[in-house]
Chain A
């Protein structure tokens, strides 16, 4: 485990960061950010082989992570800052003019940790496949990770990439899908049912795993187990059950907080449920 702090403490602090960031500019996407916090903290603090101080776009001999559902940028920014990619004070600039922390992640502002823009959904898995092929061409044994939303896989490009990865045996790739069952206009079931997701990915030729995305023990263990299943001829997808808004009681179990920030009193109530651990930015 992490040497300095238990992962749960980091998760709590990251959730505080997310809420304070979106509250400060009264915009952004807290729901999916809170839901994926345990996963991303586990990934960056326990799994990913990467040195935040030596960030390069190419990431030679390092693991690479791509965030395809770019709207949960507050989570990514907080985790990157807490991991040491840039100073935590910069979180205060989120979505403000002249900031490197754009509403959706971009390389245009040269923020360490980010390798491609995302926000327009459905593109990350393709980019991850390309990066994985580059690793193979370079005889680089490190891995590629990518996170997608469940609503996002309604995009056709995801399935083009799914076919491609299996056909080409891209087995240095671990994709995770955040199954919170919510999207902007309602539940995924109401908007456009995804059907039997496990059967779909299996039939495309992927190794399918499951994970409780709001339990750090399970996220760490599952990610470690996924890593052991790489290089066996199949790309890996982890179907991750999460609750949108997890960590704040009134934000949980609804799609209402997908892209809505809390007001002053809502922030106060939410932060009261998440005591300071590492110190606010």
Chain B
């Protein structure tokens, strides 16, 4: 299957659109932000449903606790701030009042990864997937484009339990369809192939599709799997593909430690060991720059994925 796109949109706007739609269809959905309603695209919801929108100020710890309390009262709270303030800053609050307590809170995190861009390393969260997937009871979701982020936002409202939803800031190709069903925990096979499996999440799904096209021109058939749900991991889909191809590249805008690659490697090591190559940031903080420049510098761009696939195939 060939993927094309006619427009670029930020995934955070997919979240904003999904949240607004939820507001219309589910009176129990409430939203909270820590002084970032504009950045998180929550303004449409805030304007339409002022009674269900809570401006928390720059106080993320309190936001997580208030969200837990709202959930105890039967509401479905969506918290919105940047990925670093959604996780590391409030890890203990999430751990105790949300994950351990199994409160029905949806932690929605924007500006994740290097593609946040110019704000630099303080805001470029590269550890969040690791922190969130380590928490028992937590579902971790990282959609790939505008449409998928919107669909994921709608889907997590129907899911009972704590969820971490990760998305980003930059304008990005919209290549999935608006009407595609989003099933939590169910991977999507984007391209079929026999030589190598590329398991990607978030923005790097598009980069992996681009890589697969280049590989095809070189006579290599790559199977791209979009893992939008990091946890629970769709082990069945991964195993089926790797049994066929015999080698794996993982691709994510996250640290190698604790990310999607870790989860895939851990699973395969115990079930079907295969050569694996990790496209991820290697034990370093980011820096200021344009999103695509950063992906290139830190080895997360299309040519890196192509090279990784060629390299891992040689290790079969």
Query: A residues within 8 Å of B by Cβ?
Result: 57-60, 64, 106-108, 115-120, 122-135, 137-138, 156-157, 160-161, 163-164, 167-168
Q: Shortest beta-carbon distance, B241 to chain A, in Å? A: 36
Interface with A: B96-104, B191-199, B213-221, B288-296, which one?
B96-104
Q: With the chains together, A37 CA to B40 CA distance in Å? A: 46
Contact with A along B73-107 (1 / 0, CB 8 A): 11101000000000000001101110011110000
The residue from B70, B73, B93, B102 contacting A123, defined by CB atoms under 8 A apart: B93
- Asked if B69 is at the interface of the complex by the 8 Å CB criterion, the answer is yes
The contact sample of 27 A-B pairs, CB cut-off 8 A, is A106-B100, A107-B102, A115-B72, A116-B68, A116-B72, A117-B96, A117-B100, A120-B95, A123-B93, A126-B62, A126-B63, A126-B65, A127-B66, A129-B69, A130-B65, A130-B67, A130-B72, A130-B73, A131-B72, A135-B73, A137-B51, A137-B73, A138-B74, A156-B61, A157-B61, A160-B59, A161-B66
Q: With the chains together, A117 CA to B77 CA distance in Å? A: 18
Please, which residues of chain A bring their CB within 8 A of the CB of B100?
Answer: 106-108, 117
Q: With the chains together, A51 CA to B172 CA distance in Å? A: 53
Q: Shortest beta-carbon distance, A54 to chain B, in Å? A: 16
Contact B30 A127 (CB under 8 A): no
Contact B73 A125 (CB under 8 A): no
Contact A125 B74 (CB under 8 A): no
Q: With the chains together, A134 CA to B103 CA distance in Å? A: 14
Contact A123 B97 (CB under 8 A): yes
Contact A133 B65 (CB under 8 A): no
Closest to B30 in A: A137
The residue from A57, A106, A108, A164 contacting B72, defined by CB atoms under 8 A apart: A57
The residue from A117, A134, A160, A168 contacting B69, defined by CB atoms under 8 A apart: A134
Contact A134 B72 (CB under 8 A): yes
Contact B54 A123 (CB under 8 A): no
Q: Shortest beta-carbon distance, B220 to chain A, in Å? A: 48
Decide yes or no: A127 and B102 within 8 Å by CB, A117-B97, A118-B96, A164-B57 being known contacts. Answer: no
Decide yes or no: A130 and B70 within 8 Å by CB, A123-B93, A164-B62 being known contacts. Answer: yes
Please, which residues of chain A bring their CB within 8 A of the CB of B126?
Answer: none
Q: With the chains together, A275 CA to B93 CA distance in Å? A: 41
5 further A-B pairs in the complex, CB-CB below 8 A; given A60-B74, A134-B74 = A124-B65, A127-B72, A130-B66, A134-B70, A168-B54
The residue from A58, A115, A119, A135 contacting B96, defined by CB atoms under 8 A apart: A119
Please, which residues of chain A bring their CB within 8 A of the CB of B188?
Answer: none
Q: Can you list the 9 inter-chain pairs with the closest CB atoms, starting with the nearest?
A: A130-B69, A134-B73, A126-B65, A160-B62, A160-B59, A130-B66, A131-B69, A127-B69, A157-B61
Q: With the chains together, A118 CA to B101 CA distance in Å? A: 9
Contact B101 A133 (CB under 8 A): no
Q: With the chains together, A124 CA to B97 CA distance in Å? A: 9
- Asked if B9 is at the interface of the complex by the 8 Å CB criterion, the answer is no
Q: With the chains together, A278 CA to B55 CA distance in Å? A: 49
Q: With the chains together, A122 CA to B62 CA distance in Å? A: 9
Contact with A along B40-67 (1 / 0, CB 8 A): 0000000000011010110101111111
The residue from B54, B68, B73, B93 contacting A58, defined by CB atoms under 8 A apart: B73
Q: With the chains together, A115 CA to B69 CA distance in Å? A: 9
Contact B101 A128 (CB under 8 A): no
Q: With the chains together, A118 CA to B72 CA distance in Å? A: 14
Contact A126 B69 (CB under 8 A): yes
Q: Shortest beta-carbon distance, A71 to chain B, in Å? A: 13
Contact B62 A157 (CB under 8 A): yes
Closest to A118 in B: B96
Contact B96 A133 (CB under 8 A): no
- Asked if B200 is at the interface of the complex by the 8 Å CB criterion, the answer is no
Contact A130 B59 (CB under 8 A): no
The residue from B52, B56, B92 contacting A137, defined by CB atoms under 8 A apart: B52
